[in-house]
Structure 1
Amino acid sequence: MSFHPRMMAAIHGFTPLSDSSTFSADGLAVDCWHVRNSAHAGGHYVSRHPRFVIMRDGYRIPLSETRDGDLQHCAACFVPAGMEVWSKIAQPGTLRHMDIHVSQDRLHGLMGRPPETIAPFFLRDLRTISPLVQMLADPDRPEPLREKLADCIILELLNQRSTQREIVSDTHVVGRLQGYVRQNLDRKIGVDDMAADVGLSRSQLNRVMRRTSGLSPYRWVLAQRIEHAKAQLASGQSFAEVALHSGFADQAHFNRVFKSLTGQVPSDWMNEPTQSVSAPILQDRTS
């Protein structure tokens, strides 16, 4: 028997690139979407049935349980029946995702307990289910196989919800972000971009930066740029070259930031008997 879920949505900034691919079975419906999004695309969604949302191609979508709540950058999530979910995507691009709608009765049968006891959750990684998602999205697969694949994906997501709630250590977050800054010295680095790279909300990222450095994320990035600049100055590059290679608008901007963070202008720092770099040195990009 086919299953016809109902979902209300108020969204903007999305353009379908192809017709959605839909598969349904008893108490189960799977929709596969491929869309283009503009900058700041988003909106909110609510379904009368429980729903699993799965991003594809390694994408993590920013979602929140409330309109003004912290955005969780997730690869997959579970949304209980009747719960609103809000999204806002900063950068334009394309994305593919899958919605698995499931009836209360079918989910109860899979889990062995009432769906009402399952809290919403947001997962940062798909881990082992990516191949299963790819097979489920293939319309040429036999329908009985696709139905079993959907059940397996649901069960695995529910299994992963506890293991992925582990708090990532501050050391891991800072180390990953240092690599992110290193690879993006030549462009503006936004707080949302940083949060998305480590799978945290803006407020969570701000707390990590305050704990580890006493700086806001924005000031922390400037400090990383200055440490990179110090290494370049020590190697004999000119002030103008250092400013350019460290991601500053011009030499005057570089001088102002350098003094605000170190208490000295670059020339005074260079004239000291010894120059030390207190943070890990960020080397230039090699490509």
Structure 2
Amino acid sequence: MSFQHSFVGQTDGITPTVPARWRALDGVTSVFWEAQGGRGAQGYYLSDQPRILVFFNDVSSIRLTNDDGGLARGGRPLPRVLYVPAGLPMWTRFTAAHSFSHLDIHLHSERLLKLLAPPSAARRRSTCSTARRRARPRRRSRPWPGSWRRRPVVPTATRCMPRRWSPGW
């Protein structure tokens, strides 16, 4: 089953030059855009899911802010790769006419957390093993009772690897 994202985008002066190309996988939806915008064009974007934006050409003439009044103060140049957390609004404004293309990757937040979060303590106990070694007995020139007794087991390293790798999807 593919993931359906929720996204709000309002633009003024930005127009697509070719139709958008969509791809949907389990936990990921992506869209490839090619568009152009004139000087003063602007946009507002908001998504309920985290996303990654990858721009394939220089977009430094586009200003970006996550504050409603930030564009009046100038904003900052739009980077070529950008991670946008879920629920973070984004405003953009073009300082010059520009044509661009970008890939917008929307991620299912629960799947992303499953993939990136450390295993729970219960799961860690069942999938981790502690490598142990036995210490060598100390040899003495004159043995006495108990001198050849083995020392207790000493943990040397902890190895935590899943029995079978799975992305958890």
Larger-gyration structure (1/2): 2
Q: Distance in 1 between matches of 2:65 and 2:88?
A: 11
Q: Distance in 2 between matches of 1:103 and 1:94?
A: 29
Query: Comparing both structures, which one devotes a greater share of its residues to helix?
Result: 1
Structure 1: runs of 5+ lacking an equivalent: 114-287
Aligned 8 A contact 2:20 2:32 in 1 = yes
Equivalent residue pairs, number: 113
- 2:53 corresponding residue in structure 1: 53
> What is the Cα deviation at residue 92 of structure 1?
0.9
TM norm structure 1? 0.38
Counterpart residue type for residue 65 of structure 1:
N
Classify the secondary structure of the residue corresponding to 2:113.
Answer: helix
Aligned 8 A contact 2:59 2:100 in 1 = yes
Q: Distance in 2 between matches of 1:29 and 1:16?
A: 19
Q: Distance in 2 between matches of 1:58 and 1:87?
A: 15
- 2:64 corresponding residue in structure 1: 63
Q: Distance in 1 between matches of 2:98 and 2:64?
A: 17
- 2:125 corresponding residue in structure 1: none
Classify the secondary structure of the residue corresponding to 2:49.
Answer: coil
> What is the Cα deviation at residue 52 of structure 1?
1.1
TM norm structure 2? 0.62
Aligned 8 A contact 2:67 2:91 in 1 = yes
Query: Comparing both structures, which one devotes a greater share of its residues to strand?
Result: 2
> What is the Cα deviation at residue 47 of structure 1?
0.5
Aligned residue among 46, 69, 76 for 1:72: 76
> What is the Cα deviation at residue 59 of structure 1?
2.9
Counterpart residue type for residue 37 of structure 2:
N
Q: Distance in 1 between matches of 2:32 and 2:114?
A: 24
- 2:90 corresponding residue in structure 1: 85
- 1:6 corresponding residue in structure 2: 6
> What is the Cα deviation at residue 5 of structure 1?
0.6
> What is the Cα deviation at residue 55 of structure 1?
1.1
- 1:25 corresponding residue in structure 2: 25
Aligned residue among 90, 101, 105 for 2:106: 101
Aligned 8 A contact 2:63 2:95 in 1 = no
Q: Structure 1 stretches (4+) deviating beyond 6 angstroms?
A: none
Classify the secondary structure of the residue corresponding to 1:46.
Answer: strand
Q: Distance in 2 between matches of 1:99 and 1:72?
A: 20
- 2:139 corresponding residue in structure 1: none
Q: Distance in 2 between matches of 1:90 and 1:58?
A: 13
Q: Distance in 2 between matches of 1:15 and 1:59?
A: 16
Structure 2: runs of 5+ lacking an equivalent: 119-169
Aligned-residue RMSD, C-alpha: 1.5
